[in-house]
Structures are given as C-alpha cells and as structure tokens.
Structure 1
Amino acid sequence: MNSKRQFDDLLLGSIELFCLAAELASFTAAAMAAGVTPAAVSRSVSRLEERMGVRLFVRTTRQIRLTDAGRAYFEQCREALSQLVDAERQATGQQSEPAGPLRISMPTPYAHYRVLPLLPAFRARYPRVQVDAHISNRNIDFAEEGYDLAIRGRAPVDSNLIARKLEDAELTLVATPEYLSRNGTPTSLEDLKHHECIQFERPSTGRRISWTFRRGDETVELITDGGYSSGGDVLGGVTLARNGAGLFQTYRFVVQRDLRDGTLVEVLPALGGASRPFVLLYPHGRHLSLRVRCFVDFLVEKLAHDTRGRNGRR
C-alpha cells in the first residue's frame, strides 16, 4: 500500500470550493457561501486544473460553465464528499437523523397525485431534510443538474441508471356524463372511431400515445383520433375531459375522486385493467446518502400501503 498522502488539506479544501462553484454556477456565490474571496475560489479551481491537466470550467466575463470533464469530476467529487459527511455522522452518532437538501424530478401527474401529498408527512418525520421537487415531464441529466432521484413512467434506456418500481398504475378511460349523453356511450373499441378521443403527445418524441386495454389475457394497443391534443402535461387532457371535450385515457389515481363524485364516468370498464409502471431512478454506483435512503424507503412504504388499500376497496 502506498503510504504517501494523495490529498492534503489544501487540496481537499479546493475540491469543496470547486463543488460549491459548480453547484452555484458562480465563483462569487461560492465565495459568499464559503466565507472566502472570489479570488480564493478561482485559485482553488486553477490548482485542481493544474494538478489534473484539464479544464474544469469554461469562463466568460458573465458566467462559468462546467466542461464535460468538469461535469464528470464534479459528480464524483460530490458523491465522495457526501460519503465523508455520512461517515462523520455515523462515527459521531448523528447518522440516525438525516439532514440536508434532497432534489427529485417527477412527472406532473405523479407529483400532484402521488408524491407531493406525502411530503408534509415525510418532513414531519425528517424535519432536517429540505425537499426540492422539480415537476416536469422532460428527462433530466443527473450529472449536470445535480438531482438525487427521478421518477419516470417507464423503465430507463440508460444502463447507467438503476430503476426501482414504485407501482403499476392502472389506466382508465373516462368522459363526462354530459358528453356521453350527447354522443352515446361506446360499447366496443370499434365505437371509439366515432368519438372525440383527446390525444396526448409524449414530450420526448412528440408522438401521440396509444391507448391500452385488456381483453382477457391480451393487451390491446389502440391508436385513436380526435380534434384535441395535449402536449407536455397529461393533466391537460384530464382538464379537457372534465369539461366535456371528449374521451381521455389516464391514470385511475388522477380521476378517482371524479369517478367517485360522478363528474366523470368510466367508459368500457370491461376492457380496463391495463397499467403502466412508475419507477424510481438513480445513477448506478452512486452512494445514496441517508436522507435519500430514508426518502426512498418512506415513498415505497407509503405507496405500497396506498396500493393495498385501493386493491382492497375493489
């Protein structure tokens, strides 16, 4: 084993200042946060660049931006510093109380109807964790944007991501009683050709999403048509359906209150039961801090309990 020190105090301090500058995208903001001068931050970054022989930032008079090498280095350094903090807490007996920021990206329907309602209970249990919830249907870059977790409606193509399934969310086809009174109630998939079928376009591709049904043991994918299209946010299609624009297929958890109150009616229930998965994503090989592990366990526990409750009411 090489007994020579690889990192002295000055170098470790430089790494901390580099990570601050990367997170805040500013030498000045990093200096204010650390209680040093902007020149000290600049010298620390230059020290690291000279040591490794690579540029970590592209600097202009107005802003700084991580290079590709800088993004990769920042991701690894951030994880290493997080592990050091966790190790210190564990050694001093503070590991039982998670603390610090937690950044999570979620699609709009899952955020509004699944995760956001649970956050007050999570923070009541872990008050020292600050949750930054980013609500969007676009894919995020973990390394560049600094997220701890993401929730998405399908398994990842990226093999560098670990996926943990949260649930299979049931789909249902709905319309208002007024729409069905005006246009008739479909009794078969063929009937859908004669109805206003509200479309949703997948944000990543711009393509219309097919509707999914269950016919016995068979899954049926159906391309529908209509004069309304919602892109980017599936809740746009739900709002159109609630206002009598036509038929729309969405997640049951989004419209379960409407179905209970009678403001929406389930259409073709005999062909229901199809579902789509929601998965929790994080980078492969990343050390999960205590606050992230506690959030993952909390979310899985609460969603499993809710799913069992819904299944039991059927």
Structure 2
Amino acid sequence: MSRKFDHLGDVETFITVVEKGSMTMAAIALATTPSVLSRAITRLEARLGVQLLRRTTRRLSLTEQGRLYLEQSRAAFALIEDAERAIQGPGDELRGSVRLSAPTTYAHHRLPALMQRFCAQHPQVRIELNITNRNVDLVAEGYDLAIRMGNLPDSGLVARKLEDAAMCLIAAPGYLARAGAPQGIADLGRHSCLPFVMPSTGRVSPWILREDGRDVDWVPHGGLQVSDDVLGVVTLAQNGLGICQTYDFIAQDLIGQGRAVEMLKQARGRSRPFSVIYAPHRRLSSASRALIDSLIESTSK
C-alpha cells in the first residue's frame, strides 16, 4: 500500500522554486541541482493532472491552478509547523522563516531598530528581507508579509497599522546659506525643490503640509527630480541641491549630525501611515504572527 502523502517532498520543492524565483536559486537553497527540481515539479503536475508553472528559458510564472495550489500548500505546511510548536511546548525556541518585503525608507531607517528586539528574542527565526519600492505580489512571489506606506486600497489584503510617520522639510546648511530659508509655503516656489515621481502613477508626489489649521497638498517643481527610490531626494538635499520632504525618522539623524536643517516647522503636522499586510486566506506561521506582534508593539511605544 503506497503512502497517501509520499509526494510532500515534491510539494516543498514547488513552494521553494516559487519563493526563490528560479530553479537555479531553489537548487542552491535545497543543495541539489535544477534538473532534480524540474523532475520533481513534473512529477507533481502529473499527479495533480494540472500545470502549476509556466516555464521558459528566462522566467517562471504561476498558472491560476498553481497560484491556488501554492496558497493552500503553504497554509498546510504552516499548520504542520504550528502542530510541532504545540507539542514541543512553550519552553522551546520559536523557529521557522519569514519572507518580508519593505520599502527603502522604512527598511533602511526604521526597520533595523524595530527588528532588534525580535531577533534577540527569537534567534532561531530566519527572516528573508526584500528591500524594494515595488509592491510585491505576496501570493505569487511567496511573501508572508509586506510593509506598505500610505492609505491602502481595498485589495482584499489584511492590514495592521504600524504607525503614522510624521513628515518634515529639510535642506543642507550650505543650501540655506546660499538661498536663504523660506518663511512660508508661498516662498517654496522660489526655491530649488526636489520632487519625487511616484512609480505607480508617473506623477510628482505632493508635499503634505499644514497652513492656518488647513491641510495643504503642495506639488514641488524643480529642474532635478527623482524616480524609483525616494531616498534619492534625501541624498540630494543633504548635499546642498535643494529642499525635500521626508520622514522624521530619516531627518532626525541628519539634523543631529548637522547635515540638514528643518524649515517651515509651522507647516508640519501631517503624516503618512505605514502598515504590515498579509493575505487573509493564508494561515500565518507562528514566526510570522510573532513578528507582526513585535513590530506593532515596538511602534506603539
């Protein structure tokens, strides 16, 4: 009598191939060869009677059946992991891995401090951190969690707010020595402002300000603008090329080091939210749930 689930090794191979993005990278992770993994995927597809992956010489992509099978398979493995944790008892260390995607602003300037407590408490949890300004597809690309900025559209994803990050305007001391400091929002039009072009819309991101108790969305215009990586405007500003708007958690160190000066403090008071998101139909692993709780607890202090 054959075992009912003797194909679980092939299922784990399928999950790993999707998460790593290629047979080659998955083979490195599993200490085997791409040809072995390719045969495992073929076996699994034959068993199920459906195509899970579209394979070309350049890329892999999930079919609709493959996307559904990936979601359910990852949920099943998470259940097994939880069952093991339950019988091991609370005295054992939390183990597992979490795939997390975060934007450059948060990953470089906020996340390291937030992660310190979690990593110290759970040294056996492996975190695969992807740093990108692209909104990854959590399911198709195999991510457990992602950190997103802004008010999120109704995408069907679950969002847990981390914080409302305050914004400010900064420039280098050298720039202010040359151009002077603006005294009000109206003065900004006479300065070298550093716009950021949002990848999702191709439009310049407005600066969010306050004036006389009113919210003001002011669109900067300048001869030098940045796209893709919003940290570029900060780099340009601290090198004396103009004024930018950024988060307090980025500006604080620069101001403390004397590399930037905050201006128009009377126009501050607005913020942008950051949230951690995940797919609602995916059963989160114990490690993922613990990381969410740790991030929320850290940002609430």
**Structure 1 segment 232-251 matched on structure 2, within 5 A:** 232-251=228-247
Q: Does 1:56 align with 2:52?
A: yes
Contact 2:18 2:142 in 1 (8 A): no
Match of residue 300, structure 1, among 293, 296, 301 = 296
**C-alpha contact 1:111 1:135 (8 A) present in aligned 2:** yes
Structure 2 counterpart SS, 1:143: coil
Distance in 2 (alpha carbons) for counterparts of 1:100 and 1:142: 18
Q: CA deviation at 1:68?
A: 2.4
User: Comparing both chains, which one has the higher relative contact order based on Cα–Cα distances under 8 Å and sequence gaps of 6 or more?
Assistant: 2
Query: Residue 282 of structure 1: which of 260, 278, 281 is its match?
Result: 278
Larger Rg: 1
Shift of 1:177: 2.2
Q: In the TM superposition, what is the alpha-carbon distance from 1:188 to its structure 2 partner? A: 1.4
Q: Check if 1:195 corresponds to 2:191.
A: yes
Distance in 2 separating the partners of 1:58 and 1:193? 52
Question: Post-superposition shift, 1:216?
Answer: 4.0
Farther-moved stretch of structure 1 (155-164 vs 238-247):
155-164
Q: How many residues align?
A: 296
Alignment partner, residue 124 of structure 2: 128
Deviation track 1:195-226 (CA, whole Å, cap 9, x = no partner) reads 10111111222211011111243211011211
- Separation in 2 of the partners of 1:100 and 1:226? 48
How far did residue 48 of structure 1 move?
Answer: 3.0
Q: 2:64 aligns with which of 68, 86, 103?
A: 68
- What's the counterpart of residue 160 of structure 2? 164
- State which of 239, 248, 269 in structure 2 corresponds to 1:252: 248
Aligned equivalents of 1:265 and 1:63: distance in 2? 47
The residue identity in structure 2 corresponding to 1:264 is: A
1:24-43 superposed matches below 5 A:
24=20, 25-26=22-23, 29=27, 41-42=40-41
Query: Cα–Cα, structure 1 residues 276 and 85, in superposed 2: closer, same or farther, change >3 Å?
Result: same
TM-score, scaled relative to structure 2: 0.88
Aligned to 2:139: 143
Aligned mates of 2:140, 2:71 — CA distance in 1? 8
Residue 268 of structure 1 deviates from its aligned partner by 0.9
For residues 94 and 30 of structure 1, the distance between their equivalents in structure 2, rounded to whole angstroms, comes to 33
- Post-superposition shift, 1:32? 5.6
The residue identity in structure 2 corresponding to 1:282 is: Y
Measured after TM superposition, the shift of residue 274 of structure 1 is: 1.2
Whole-Å separation in 2 of the counterparts to 1:222 and 1:89? 52
Map Cα deviations across residues 263-299 of structure 1 (whole Å, 9 max, x no partner).
2111111111111111111111321211111111111
Q: Structure 1, residues 20-75: CA drift from partner, whole Å, max 9, x if none? A: 4444543993996589965862563134332xxx2212345787543222122112
- The residue type equivalent to 2:300 in the other structure is A
- The answer to whether the aligner puts 1:173 opposite 2:169 as a matched pair is yes
Cα offset, 1:184, TM superposition: 1.8
- Superposition map of 1:70-85 within 5 A: 70-85=66-81
**Structure 1 counterpart of 2:43:** 44
Structure 2 Cα separation of the partners of residues 61 and 224 of structure 1: 44
Task: Specify the SS of the correspondent of 2:110.
Answer: helix
Q: Does 1:206 align with 2:202?
A: yes
The alpha-carbon distance between structure 1 residues 287 and 96, as it changes in their structure 2 partners (threshold 3 A), is farther
Asked whether the equivalents of residues 199 and 228 of structure 1 are also in contact (C-alpha less than 8 Å), the reply is yes
Q: Which residue of 1 aligns with 2:11?
A: 15
In structure 2, the partner of 1:227 is 223
Cα displacement string for residues 107-155 of structure 1 (whole angstroms, at most 9, x for unaligned residues): 1111111112343432221011111111111110011111111111113
Distance 1:224 1:39 in 2: 51
Provide the rounded CA distance (Å) in 1 between the counterparts of 2:100 and 2:19: 15
Does structure 2 retain, via aligned residues, the 8 Å contact 1:107–1:135? yes
3-state DSSP of counterpart to 1:144 = coil
Structure 2 residue matching 1:45: 3-state secondary structure: helix
Determine if contact 1:14/1:47 at 8 Å carries over to the other structure.
no
Q: Which amino acid aligns with 1:226?
A: G
The root-mean-square deviation of aligned C-alpha atoms, in Å, is 2.7
Preserved CA contact (<8 Å) 2:13 2:37: no
**TM-score of the two chains, using structure 1 as the length reference:** 0.84
Question: What code does the residue aligned with 1:45 have?
Answer: L
